Amino acid sequence: MLRVRGRSVAWIPPLVLLVGIAVTDYNTTGEFRVISWIVLVPGIAAALCGVWGTAVYAVLAMVFYTAVDNAWPHQFQAGLPDFILVAAGGVLSTLACLVRVRGERRALHMRDVTDTVRATVLRPLPPRWGGLEHAGVYLPADADARVGGDFYDIQPGPHGTRVLVGDVQGKGLGAVETSAVLLGAFREAGYHEAELTAVADRLEDRMLRHREYTTALGRGDGDRFATAVLLGFPPDRTDVVDAVVFGHERPLAVGPDGVRSLRAAGGLPIGCRDLAPGPLPVSRLPVAPDETLLLVTDGVTEARDGEGNFYRLADELCRAVAADPGVAAPGLLVAAVREGTLRHSRGHLDDDTTAFAVRRTRASGGEGPEGPEGGRSPR
């Protein structure tokens, strides 16, 4: 638990306590003995060291107790009762350390499983994927969970590169499952469908089928929905982007000249099409070559400070870009959003927080709209 330059120093605190108690007892009068405090040594070791280290300190505590106690005249010795206390404390401390170590191993295993789930849902994206330079940051509201209902992905294809960023209603494993379902549908539809509206329809259909499935299982999350933004980068245009907004925060275009909100037509969340049947509005919006599109979930826009004030993302970014136009780069942009959100909320996140930034980049090394080497994109 304690490391200095990569090496464990967890053995030092109990050793210092062991020697300190022995020296203190040796230098006190017979009426005031502190050698019995040595029972604290294996207890401290149980909290910091491994099982064998704790067992060693339990034995050392008994050895030191015997040596120091026998150095006193008989009338001042603590005697057998305190020795039994030290021995019992050592045994109990070793057992407690065993329980602690097993719990830590179980927690590490669960973290590895969670990281695997997260890598499956939010798959790692190659740099400059599909002709886009990108960067993303994801912060779960539950720091121990490490994964939640926010999602994002890029899917290159023969009809251009598509980007999806969204937030599933609710929390827990059900939200993670729904995120995975929507991302799976997006990766297939984003590659095969020629029209962005068809991709949006496929997402809606997949959500409805998933809700039917969860309802048939008797689960209580059969009315789940998701807000999202679906972007399409046409292969024949570099100055525009197509956008479908599913009840989500509209993208921000961040460039050296400032920050502006893209005036994309809004629609209902995914899974709510029955409330307003009809074709989804697709907005074609101009984007300058040096502008980065920033998409965030409501964990950013609804972050509050101690007085309950919302985080004013656009204003913060305007000040950041005015101070340093280089902040408009995707990597620096999402880092600024992350730091600003955590600073504003003082590290207390009430909802999963995602910031994802993309901008076009010149194809290099044979990369085309269908992925590296112009071949078929992996699914």
376 falls within a domain? no
Which of 87, 114, 141 is a domain's end point? 114
Which residues touch 151 (CB under 8 Å, ≥6 apart)? 121, 122, 164, 165, 166, 167, 168, 179, 182, 183, 354
Predicted model pTM: 0.70
Which of 91, 114, 137 is a domain's end point? 114
Same domain, 10 and 138: no
Same domain, 135 and 219: yes
- What pLDDT, on a 0 to 100 scale, did the predictor assign at position 369? 41
191 falls within a domain? yes
pLDDT tens readout for residues 122-177: 788 888 899 999 999 888 765 555 566 789 999 999 999 999 999 988 777 778 88
Same domain, 208 and 313: yes
Q: Please state, in angstroms and rounded to a whole number, the distance separating the CA atoms of residues 192 and 181.
A: 17
Same domain, 140 and 33: no
**Residue 108 is encoded by which pair of tokens?**
């590490």
378 falls within a domain? no
Same domain, 104 and 21: yes
Same domain, 212 and 99: no
Same domain, 264 and 299: yes
User: What CATH number does the domain containing 292 carry?
Assistant: 3.60.40.10
242 φ, ψ (degrees, to nearest 5): -95, 140
210 falls within a domain? yes
CB 59 within 8 A of CB 52: no
Only one residue has tokens 């972007």, namely 231
How many domains does one find in the chain? 2
Same domain, 67 and 134: no
Same domain, 131 and 110: no
- What pLDDT, on a 0 to 100 scale, did the predictor assign at position 147? 60
Instruction: Print the domain residue range for 67.
Output: 3-114
Local mean pLDDT, 10-residue blocks, the chain (379 residues):
74 89 80 82 90 92 86 73 89 93 86 69 85 89 62 93 90 81 94 93 92 84 85 92 92 92 88 78 90 91 84 91 91 92 83 89 48 37
